[in-house]
Structure 1
Amino acid sequence: MLRRSHPYIGTFARACLPLSALVGLGGCGSMGLSAPTPTELALACPKVAIVRDLQTVTQFRPGAGRDLTDVESRAALVDYAGNCEYGSDGVTVNVNLFLVAERGPALQGSQAKYTYFVAMSKPGQDQPAIKTAFDTTVDFPAGKNRAGNREELNPRIPLPKDVNAKDWAIFIGFQLTPEQLEYNRKQLEQPVVK
């Protein structure tokens, strides 16, 4: 898999809602909105999904404190878009993944680092056949509390020519510690205030 990170600070990041509001947006990306041709129906793209429990990460400063003043940063995988290309020896899935981060009061410096993963599962299997982790850094410009990246991913599924990859699945999420996962799950249990 290849990955390049691109700062994504323009309209997307400026127009972002608070990260808590972005959680519901994961997985709204598309692998193509136009009507497929008969050939494309025969050779469709794998399913891509951002894992709900692993869609956000909150980083706290070292120590026992876990209130808002202890937050270094928060980030969310908010959307994706892309396509796939069939070749003679497999399928390349081109995914643009959008990550938005918010600086917390405890962050020292102007950067936050995150690790996310891409996992691929074969048809009929629950466990990933391949899982790769990637590190990325978000730079917060002076005076800005939000910034983001567009991550370009190109996972490749090795398949014989003309074998359909439509039943493969690609899962994306943050690589979390057990404590971060527990924090996310507690946040998801909170009622939404309107």
Structure 2
Amino acid sequence: MTRFARPAALALLALPLLAGCGGRGSVLTQRPQAPCPRVALIAEAVDLTRYRQGARPDLAAMEVDARMTGFGARCDYAPRDAGLDVTVQVELTAERGPAATGTTFDLPYVVGVTDESEGRVLNSGTDTLRVSFNGSERRTLARGEEMLVRIPGDVRRAAEKVVLIGFQLTPEQLAANRRRGVR
């Protein structure tokens, strides 16, 4: 074989091997894993304690005490190269207090996208997690529904943003959390 024929023959021998690489679902044709922005809980907003309306905030007046214990998050490319889609799901524990008159509580929370370099919130949305206690149950675990957060624009720049999660608190609840500190 000439020195030009040998590489051509090797290429022909490799064709059957390469035939398995094409087509649907092939590793060579799939997009790489989407990058993810940093996702975190807001330290001052992971606790929500609700008291009976008009009562002094003490243990006897507590209706529910909830704490965000974590979250699930996954990232994917938004359709039509519109940026990143971040799906988050909140996890929490809740305790029913002595002043509770019901077994179901709606706990509002917020998910925000921030730009740390500029120190500002770019977008935010709220949702409510419904917590239910069975019978005389005092403590429960709950997981929220998945919430989709789209970060528009260039994927690399979108991945540099930060997604923050916390309870939607009244000014009084936030002040109490700041006084108490992180538990």
Q: TM-score band, normalised by the shorter chain?
A: 0.7 to 0.9
Choose the corresponding residue for 1:79, options 45, 52, 70. 70
Deviations 1:139-194 (A, max 9, x none): 1111211123212121111124x5442211111111111110111112117xx8xx
Residue 45 (structure 1) aligned with residue 39 (structure 2) = no
**TM-score, normalised via structure 1 length:** 0.70
Residue 178 (structure 1) aligned with residue 174 (structure 2) = no
**Where do residues 27-176 of structure 1 align in structure 2 (5 Å cutoff)?**
40=33, 44-87=35-78, 88-122=81-115, 124-151=117-144, 152-160=146-154, 162-176=155-169
What is the root-mean-square deviation in Å for CA atoms of aligned residues?
Answer: 1.9
**TM-score, normalised via structure 2 length:** 0.74
- Cα distance in 1 for partners of 2:106, 2:68 equals 14
Number of aligned residue pairs: 149
Bigger Rg, which one: 2
What residue ranges of structure 1 are gaps of 5+ in the alignment?
Answer: 1-38
Q: Which moved more, 1:45-54 or 1:64-73?
A: 64-73
**Aligned-residue offset at 1:53:** 0.5
Greater relative CO (CA pairs within 8 A, separation 6+): 1
What residue ranges of structure 2 are gaps of 5+ in the alignment?
Answer: 1-31
- Cα distance in 1 for partners of 2:170, 2:136 equals 30
